[in-house]
Structures are given as structure tokens and as C-alpha cells.
Amino acid sequence: MAELWKLLKAAIAGGAATLADVAVLALLVSGLGLTPAAANVPALVVGGVVNFFGNRHFAFRARSGDVVQQAVRYGVVEIVALVLNGVLYAAAIHAAGARASHLFWAIRLATSHVVFLGWSYPLWRHVFRVPQPA
């Protein structure tokens, strides 16, 4: 039950990160006229920063752990996640064709959730593990 609660809290932190990601994506695409492909990486980076702090402080309560070590480990996991997100998002945008300009946000939500469940969360459980006192 504790693990399910942790997953739910990670999903909430991820939801906040996703909102930040999609907001930046929408701003860059709709507000500044960038293509969805060009706006992809900057939006993911903003979401990643929000996600690190949300998971560290809220989901995993890893405040006592070494933040630098956690950030490095998180960074490695998320560099791979960034590549996975980028590849999946680009493939989905390509598959959507002309509809991509209207569906970019829905495509982002779908592809980022696949990466979250299949890659990121399972590894974050190790990244944010804090040694328990004896």
C-alpha cells in the first residue's frame, strides 16, 4: 500500500511537471510560433526541473539524502527519458501528420506517460532512496 501511495504522489508530481511542460510547449508553439519539434526539448527541460523537486520533496521525501548525488542520478535517468520522450514524440507527431498542429499537447501527454510508467518511475525509486538509520 505504501508503494502505491508513493506511485500516486509521483504521478501528482509528474502531473505538475507535465502541466509545466505542456504550458511551455503551448507558449512556444502557439505564442512564439515555433514548430512542435523545435519546442520539444525546452519544454521537456522545464518539466524535468519541476519533476525533480516534486519527486524529491513530495513523492519520495528524500530531503535528507545527498541532493547533488540525487540530482546526478536523476539527470542520468532523465537524459535517457529525454531521448525516449523525444523519439516517441517525434514519431507520434510524424504519424499524426497535418493534425499534429492541433494535437501536439495530447500527443505530449500520451508519450510522456508511456515513458514515466515504463522507464522513469521504476528508476526514481532507486535515485531517491535514502539510507535508513540503523
pTM of the model: 0.69
Q: Are 37 and 92 in contact (CB under 8 A)?
A: no
How large is the average pLDDT for residues 82-102? 89
pLDDT surpassing 90 at residue 105:
no
Q: Which grid coordinates are listed for 94?
A: 510524424
d(CA 77, CA 63): 19
pLDDT in tens, 46-55: 998 898 999 9
Cα dist. 1→5, 62, 90, 118 in Å? Answer: 6, 19, 36, 20
pLDDT surpassing 70 at residue 134:
no
Name the residue among 76, 14, 84 with its Cα closest to residue 22. 14
pLDDT in tens, 23-71: 999 999 999 999 998 998 899 889 988 989 999 999 998 878 888 999 9
